[in-house]
Chains A and B, each alone.
Chain A
């Protein structure tokens, strides 16, 4: 009934879902852009700022970087899958890796809290917990969206599901890019 839910509109060249996800990602760029600006401003004006390598565990961070990278690859492959069933399978494996990411992240948090590294200790840790926490929230929301697309296949049909998978793949790529930036800013420098 509402036009262009799955098919492309000739003059814009996209479907509603595709345009919607790009607009959403534009707003997400502004959200993390604002926070990264805050990071830069606080870091340059700080009297002391530790090197992330000396405080955080590089092993946890690197493991999660690899997990997210592989997961995004899976989501991206699902994007060009031939059938909705195949796309759904790809999304399912990607979701398992997203859960693995969250598991590693929880282990890392509890290790840090056990070592007395809390947000209130200094601005470096405050920034670390805020950025990674907000990022983890994005992973959780993405997982819910994945499940919604996986379960929804029976109800909305192949074309709609493929559109959703394409949108989700873009979202996961964005979440991965944000993680890469956080990894460099917090763990490596």
Chain B
């Protein structure tokens, strides 16, 4: 297998393994963070003495190192882990197979997008070796702090530049592949939900990322050319007035950043919806309830996601007119999410559910995403958001959406399509241990955050708020979260062992072990070069399960209707 390949299946697997490594690194940062919050001032176990003296003298974490870990955890998980896994890996590997195409529309651009992504990740992580360490201004990189931060922030910006180029190239490729390379008969309303979610996601990446690219250029100019796009007049740092002319606006960065980063939330969640839909339709052996409602809902969601960004900025004092507008749009955008979850719940009704490992992850996604979504509603209203915004409540809210939400869906996808990629199945017992360990571990970490947040603990303190009265009452809850993180990490060991063991030793299966309907299952597992021996065509919708009068409980999309019914 060539390292630089233009085959979408190879690129998909490159994305898969690279993003899994980044997810693991992002999780290891969390182990350090959780230990620090549980036992501030205690030397970090095992790795403490290997850390450089400047970051952790005697193995004791310093505040600077803590902020670097938090910033790099967020950036790594969002931009290097979850999105490349959801869009790069699943999108690349599955889209051409699901639409019946030999490859992506632009194979060489596809390879370019992977290598730009890898370069972006490496450049960003190179910050750890620069004086002052990696970027430490949060994954949001708010100025003026980010403008005056050490050199790691410059590495962050250059890394982001590569990542945005990568996602630009990738999203064009995705849209053209879906619209242009659909097999004969595969009309838009016959596309699997997963393909629809990737299409809407690609449009969000295409249109929302460029303003952040522009903002990153402006911040680079501030840092390297001495401009003041984001530096206000009269800024004093450590008692000294800064040298720049000032006159800029820190709020401008927030607008440009959140114009990307709110659609980015839907980039994180939409592919997860897609995977869960495929798995649930398959596990319940019946058509999804409300296919049209789902498609309409996600198109509406994609459009609305460009009109809600400033609900992240109620604390900037934007005034009641502005916040009124963004509160209304925010309440409106919760409707399509509810449509999605409701249709999936209704799809379960009356089904004889197969509780396979992918189905367990997909089913757990629903209540977990439900908690994440419903706890978000108070944050969409300025009156409730202002006291909650800087507390752990917000951290709990979005982690429920992204961790036991999106990540669970991605795990479901790995277990579900593993037989497609390898012709083998992953081990069921190891998979179930992975599932239950992850479910308990994640809830053990994130549930206490709501309590900590409602107690008023600020989410940015490296000692967990013990210097404040509000933090003292809940300080004991951190050690439980540390042990939950250990459990979560232990559960991932079962996943890693399962993944690598099953690659070589997993039980062999036929081409379609789940008895699924969509086009990717009509070719061999693993698929040959250029995917299909004969180009497929579609004759029906994507979820023809348990059709009355058929011999099997599934009818593949490629199966032509009987010549004559009479």
Contact = CB atoms under 8 A, between A and B. Distances in A.
Interface string A2-38: 1110000100101110011001101110111111011
B206 A130 contact: no
B408 interface: no
A31 B207 CA distance: 8
B221 A46 contact: no
B172 A34 contact: no
A19 B227 contact: no
Contact of B227 (A23, A28, A119): A119
A42 interface: yes
B249 A120 contact: no
Contacts of A82: none
Nearest to B103: A2
B210 A38 contact: no
B259 interface: yes
Contacts of B23: none
A121 interface: yes
Contacts of B256: 34, 38
A20 B255 CA distance: 28
Contacts of B107: 2
A41 interface: yes
B179 interface: yes
A38 B229 contact: yes
A189 interface: no
B213 interface: yes
Interface string B107-133: 100000000000000000000000000
Contact of A20 (B103, B105, B226, B244): B105
A32 B181 CA distance: 30
Contact of A122 (B106, B210, B247): B247
Interface in B195-245: 206-215, 217-218, 221, 225-229, 244-245
A38 B227 CA distance: 14
Contacts of A20: 105-106, 172-173, 176
B175 interface: yes
B227 A12 contact: no
B214 A35 contact: yes
Contact of B106 (A16, A30, A31, A134): A16
A47 B247 CA distance: 8
Given A126-B221, A129-B225, A23 B211 contact: no
Nearest to A29: B210
Contact of B226 (A1, A120, A134): A120
A126 B224 CA distance: 12
B207 A42 contact: no
A45 B230 CA distance: 12
Contacts of A47: 247
A19 B214 contact: no
Contacts of A26: 206-207
B180 interface: yes
Contacts of B255: 41
Given A31-B214, A42-B248, A126 B103 contact: no
Contact of B179 (A12, A42, A46, A134): A12
Contacts of B252: 38, 41-42
Given A1-B530, A35-B214, A123-B227, A16 B180 contact: yes
A126 B227 contact: yes
Nearest to A14: B180
A120 B208 CA distance: 29
A120 to B, nearest CB: 3
A28 B206 CA distance: 9
Contacts of A4: 105, 180-181
Interface string A105-149: 000000000000011111100100110001000000000000000
Interface string A39-83: 001100111000000000000000000000000000000000000
Given A28-B210, A42-B252, A120-B227, 8 more contacts: A2-B101, A2-B107, A9-B180, A34-B259, A38-B252, A46-B247, A123-B228, A130-B227
Interface of A: 1-4, 9, 12, 14-16, 19-20, 23-24, 26-28, 30-35, 37-38, 41-42, 45-47, 118-123, 126, 129-130, 134
Interface of B: 101-103, 105-107, 168, 171-173, 175-176, 179-181, 206-215, 217-218, 221, 225-229, 244-245, 247-249, 252, 255-256, 259, 530
7 contacts: A16-B106, A33-B210, A34-B259, A38-B214, A38-B229, A120-B244, A123-B247
